[in-house]
Amino acid sequence: MTEQNELEAEAGNQAKKQQNLMPWIVTILIAAWLIGMAILGAGWLIANEISKQGTQFAGSGLQEQGINSPIDIQIPESVPRLGSDDAKVTVIEFADYQCPYCAQWHFDIFSKLKSEYIDTGKIKFAFWDFAFLGEESFKAAEAAMCSSAQGKFWEYHDALFVAQASETDNPLSDTSLKQIAQNTGLNATSFSECFDARINKPIVEDLTNQGVNYGVGSTPTVFINGLKFEGVLPWETYQQVIETELAK
């Protein structure tokens, strides 16, 4: 074989090798592209899910809260109320005096609710005891009912949340509850007789059980014309729903 023939044969072999490699190269490139698309797709799904969860946590509206249809809640006579009985909108708060989020709701939401909607007669507001965090929750609710017998429920109610939010030890102990009664101008003897006899315990138990039947499982839980909201949501959420209900 001449040198020329050897060179031509070598060139042919190289060409065949390149042809044999081409399918593998194409396969590798396609696989790399598919893997890249899969990673991008997974990243998009994760980001989308995080975005959804963030919206749900923010509680910016009815859809995020998972609300379907309103619940018809009958308010017992034992539940204290504020505002106009003829109001188009009824707001019911289920709360526990030991619950820190209830204290937050009281300071951040209730104050605005009162000035903008309760005091103006636009809504009726009801505070429903849902005592589920222990014995002190029951006793605080019972004490508030004793204050109601002297016409000072809301003053005592506010003072309980102030005490709970304080850094003092045992802010809702029996001694503290009686001290709060004195601080709010209640007749100490009458209050102590009511509180020590625990005459309101069956009422608090019944209210808590009724709350469970209405689907309450945590505090604060708020119903606006039967629409359920859980936790402490932005003020704008409650405001939006109230305005929507008022416009109906």
| 118 and 204 both lie in a single domain | yes
Contact 208, 129 (CB under 8 A): yes
Could you tell me how far CA 71 lies from the centroid of its own chain?
17
* Domain presence at residue 239: yes
Tell me if residue 22 falls in helix, strand or coil.
helix
| 4 and 91 both lie in a single domain | no
> Tens of pLDDT along 167-197?
777 889 999 999 999 999 999 999 999 999 9
| 87 and 210 both lie in a single domain | yes
Q: Divide the 248 residues of the chain into consecutive groups of 10 and give the mean pLDDT of each group.
A: 49 48 50 49 37 33 55 94 95 96 96 96 97 94 96 96 84 94 96 97 97 95 96 96 95
* Domain presence at residue 177: yes
| 182 and 237 both lie in a single domain | yes
- Domain boundary among the residues 32, 58, 84 is at 58
| 10 and 40 both lie in a single domain | yes
- Domain boundary among the residues 36, 58, 80 is at 58
pTM, 2 dp = 0.73
| 75 and 22 both lie in a single domain | no
* Domain presence at residue 86: yes
Predicted pLDDT at 28:
52
| 46 and 87 both lie in a single domain | no
| 49 and 87 both lie in a single domain | no
* Domain presence at residue 63: no
| 27 and 127 both lie in a single domain | no
Predicted pLDDT at 69:
83
* Domain presence at residue 64: no
Amino acid at 222: V
* Domain presence at residue 25: yes
101 vs 232: CA distance, rounded Å: 7
Domain containing 209 — which CATH number? 3.40.30.10
Identify the helix (H) or strand (E) that includes residue 125: strand 123-129
60 vs 237: CA distance, rounded Å: 6
**Tokens coding 234:** 């932005």
| 110 and 181 both lie in a single domain | yes
| 27 and 132 both lie in a single domain | no
What is the span of the domain harbouring residue 129? 69-246
Handedness of CA 39, 40, 45, 47 (dihedral sign): positive
| 96 and 19 both lie in a single domain | no
Tell me if residue 5 falls in helix, strand or coil.
helix
* Domain presence at residue 14: yes
Predicted pLDDT at 165:
83
Number of domains the chain contains? 2
> Tens of pLDDT along 84-113?
999 999 999 999 999 999 999 999 999 999
* Domain presence at residue 79: yes
